[in-house]
Structure 1
């Protein structure tokens, strides 16, 4: 988004309101990031309370991923049935319950149950945050505003690292996990006065309400946008979830599922969940390892801001290609650091630098672009359900990686594990080059029209 666009967004009542509505919805991302990142530091001290094998450690960490897959599986349909705003409110309540359960857990099974509950809310948030923003935002700044959700994911991760560091000396892992109740309350209160998505309202026959929301969130004439929405709703009156498998939608489904899986099997959440553990294995102490992850979190936030500034100017495909290419190189270097002898004094700092660069490249590519694209490329009638299906795949891959990472590193070693992530990153780069479309500056209705006109993903690419 250009400087002129930013000024335009902040100027005038409609502009300020759309920015506020997007920022509040993006708090879903903060909760998403906080509750996925907080376990990384807490885990160093949970072992002092509950003795766990590597497999049980993986189960505790991946419990949230199993819950997220469940939340995503039902969240898409709930978003279509209840509406985007109501699902955000429901998710905030589930976040609160999950954080409370983890904070008071008397045993490993209860801790896992809390992670599962928290995960359901993460699954809701990963769908409904970008979905709500993409449907309420004007096309020319939709990329930047939708990417606010990913920015808040990185902010949530960074905040979780600061919280971990604040309680590290005391080893107070219960306080670390329980702090998630606070942003859940803020999200619920903030969304009470926000409107429903105008596109969802229009589809439900509530046209006057949809028009009122558009007038509140746009500057200037909205008649053309209303006509586009009406035409799209009329065309898709017979569209159902089964149509996701129809030939005209297959390219979009392949792109969504492919990026969903690649985002995880390239290793980002293994780094987010286990960064302190990875760094501790290089010789850093527990507190130093947590402090080093704060630096990684800062890089994550800064580079996501860079991505937001570029995404509506450079485009989705180019950011993906640069980001994934950089991830491929840096994770290969990280594997080499663990493989070569003679790094006893410097290995911790080299590993930290490699992790920072890996996260930086993820933050300008697969991080924000994946969530933005899946909120853009599906038809309105099945958008929530389609995002749900894609997000289930995302969390399923996340579950596998987070569950197996401790087992892989214990048996195959860090070097082999990170080289495996590098091979997956290279495959993701080739997938992006051949199949991912460019959607910058186009209305959601125009993107759908291309699909209905049998325009494949590769044909719409730059």
Structure 2
């Protein structure tokens, strides 16, 4: 019997094999997202134990530095990661990141003091930032247009799964070995395992066909496309990629100065705005300091660790719903709804923290509102952010453009991570969250005015729309002047 015989649902054995291989590629690559999530989430439960006098003896300043040093490294990793992946390929760069994840995790685990911990957290951040740019870019370039939203957003699912695992392991280890001096080291070392899986897994994953075409490896690009697409579609997609590159071949190699071209500058402006909207929600004050927030509200340390598991569970469930919604709902209204939900949740936390101060009900209300906050954040804001950033830049500028925008995202993330414990100590929980409420309203206004809709459009078509917008933007004043 022929291998391409149709089954009852109309698919062939070959097409099923292609879809299975694409799913394998997605699963392996998104271990970069899992590491991203675990390494950013694990500090949430580890901080109370690191801060003890017989351990790293952290104060609000050094606590902020231990947390945010990873984020500063991530900002630089995001900026450099895009350029490296453009030069060396997405696959090879992810392999290198897996090695960096492994050794820096061990460095953090065995850090003897706060200074060494800050250095290794910074280096670990370079890997996190690189993964935050390259993995969604790689997935966007491997996926068919109609499934791009769901496929790229699986990386977001793995990020929150990593955070959920961090919260779960933190609670299990903290409640079981909480009296052990170095319990936080056990929490950190677990991240070395997915780094090993990522490295070995990427050995069987092919390179991005779009990157291969950009390097003139047309035959290899077609071979990769044929592994994950039907034959006719593979040839058609290869043709579209070549046409997009032909249009760009008249310009110089991608450089920072290219981001100042008028139509590209508009994309950069939108990309930076969307990236900042993701962070000014205040999400990472909860993801990094959730245990302290719950403790501040009235929970004990162990109860706060266990309560954080609820945050992890809702994050995973919300992202699953968000991935489903991306195939049904336009990106722009989805992001606006998410920002409205996160802003309202923080406003209520701030109000109740004042009106119900010292009430037995306050910690449970705060936990409930953080769960609602994360439902909107992980179910709408997060998936739309990473997907849109991976979509809006043209192929030649995708690595450097997305890298620059994610650099801005991580820089804001760094500021949030560094300043939150200081603000919490000096102005309290309510006032700190009211600041995020004001920023959240600004984010809603930005998205409403500037963000374009990208759902159902190929990456090449989207580029044409941005170019056309620039032309019409120039022609309109000229026509007005002629009148």
TM-score interval, normalised by the smaller of the two chains: over 0.9
The counterpart of 2:435, out of the listed 402, 407, 420, is: 420
> Paired residue for 1:354?
369
Structure 2: distance between partners of 1:369 and 1:9: 33
Q: Confirm or deny that 1:340 pairs with 2:355.
A: yes
Residue 196 of structure 1 pairs with residue 233 of structure 2: no
Residue in structure 2 matched with residue 284 of structure 1 by the alignment = 299
1:174 and 2:181 matched = no
Task: State the match for 2:478 in structure 1.
Answer: none
* CA distance in structure 2 between the partners assigned to 1:164 and 1:9 by the alignment: 44
- Answering whether residue 167 of structure 2 is matched by residue 156 of structure 1, we say no
2:77 is matched with which residue? 71
Distance, in Å, in 1 between the alignment partners of 2:444 and 2:438 is 10
Contact 1:69/1:120 (<8 A) preserved: yes
Partner of 1:449: 464
Q: Which residue of 1 aligns with 2:391?
A: 376
- Equivalent in the alignment of 1:232: 244
Determine the C-alpha separation between the residues in 2 that align with 1:63 and 1:175.
20
**Match of residue 263 from structure 2:** 248
**Alpha-carbon separation, structure 2, partners of 1:328 and 1:354:** 11
Q: Does the 8 Å CA contact 1:60/1:115 hold for their aligned counterparts?
A: yes
Residue 66 of structure 2: aligned partner: 60
Aligned residues of 1:15 and 1:219 also touching (Cα < 8 A): no
Matched, 1:13 2:17: yes
Q: Indicate yes or no: 2:269 matched with 1:265.
A: no
Counterpart selection for 1:144 from 119, 137, 150 = 150
Q: Return the TM-score normalized by structure 1.
A: 0.95
| Aligned ranges 1:321-340 → 2 under 5 Å | 321-340=336-355
Cα RMSD over matched residues? 1.8
* Structure-1 residue corresponding to 2:476: none
Question: Aligned to 1:127, which of 114, 133, 136?
Answer: 133
Structure 1's 8 and 162: CA in aligned 2 closer, same or farther, altered over 3 A? farther
Per the alignment, in what secondary structure is the counterpart of residue 51 of structure 2? helix
Give, in angstroms, the shift of residue 348 of structure 1.
0.4
Query: Following the alignment from structure 1 to structure 2, what is the Cα–Cα distance between the partners of residues 457 and 299?
Result: 44
Distance of aligned partners of 1:319 and 1:162 in 2 relative to their CA distance in 1, 3 Å threshold:
same
Contact 1:8 1:15 survives alignment (8 Å): no
- Shift of the alpha carbon at 1:316? 1.0
Instruction: Show the counterpart of 1:47.
Output: 51
Contact 1:92 1:185 in 2 (8 A): yes
Tell me: CA distance 1:394–1:8, structure 2 relative to 1, closer, same or farther (3 Å). farther
Q: Is the 8 A contact 1:251 1:457 kept in 2?
A: no
Residue 9 of structure 1 contacts residue 15 of structure 1 at CA under 8 Å; is this kept in 2? no
Structure 1 residue 26: Cα displacement: 1.1
Structure 1 counterpart of 2:216: 205
Aligned residue for 1:248, secondary structure, equals helix
Displacement of 1:360: 0.7
> Larger deviation: 443-452 or 341-350?
341-350
Q: Is the 8 A contact 2:222 2:235 kept in 1?
A: no
Aligned mates of 2:115, 2:297 — CA distance in 1:
31
Report the CA distance between 1:223 and its aligned residue. 2.4
Q: Distance in 2 between matches of 1:23 and 1:448?
A: 28
The whole-number CA distance in structure 1 between the counterparts of 2:304 and 2:471 is: 46
- C-alpha deviation, 1:8, in angstroms: 10
**TM-score, structure 2 length as denominator?**
0.91
Shift of 1:407: 0.9
Instruction: State the distance in 2 between where 1:131 and 1:216 align.
Output: 19
| Count of matched residue positions in the alignment of Structure 1 and Structure 2 | 453
Shift of 1:68: 0.6
Q: Distance in 1 between matches of 2:56 and 2:113?
A: 7
- Matched-pair contact (CA < 8 Å) for 1:435–1:457: no
Deviation at 1:287, TM superposition (A): 1.1
Instruction: In structure 1, list runs of 5 or more residues that go unmatched.
Output: none
Counterpart Cα distance in 2 of 1:112 and 1:10: 50
The range that moved more, 299-308 or 246-255, is 246-255
Deviation at 1:138, TM superposition (A): 0.5
Question: Which has the larger displacement, 341-350 or 152-161?
Answer: 341-350
Give CA-to-partner distance per residue, 1:19-63, whole Å, 9 cap, x none.
111121111110000000000000110012122221111001101
Q: Offset at 1:251?
A: 1.9
Deviation at 1:112, TM superposition (A): 0.8
C-alpha spacing 1:342/1:90, structure 2 compared with 1 (3 Å): closer
CA distance in 1, matches of 2:162, 2:56: 26
- Structure 1 segments of 4+ aligned residues over 2 angstroms from their partners: 7-11, 454-458
The whole-number CA distance in structure 1 between the counterparts of 2:472 and 2:14 is 34
Structure 2: 5+ residue runs without aligned partners? Answer: 1-8, 474-483
Q: Identify which of 414, 426, 430 aligns with 1:411.
A: 426
Q: Give the CA deviation at 1:312.
A: 2.0
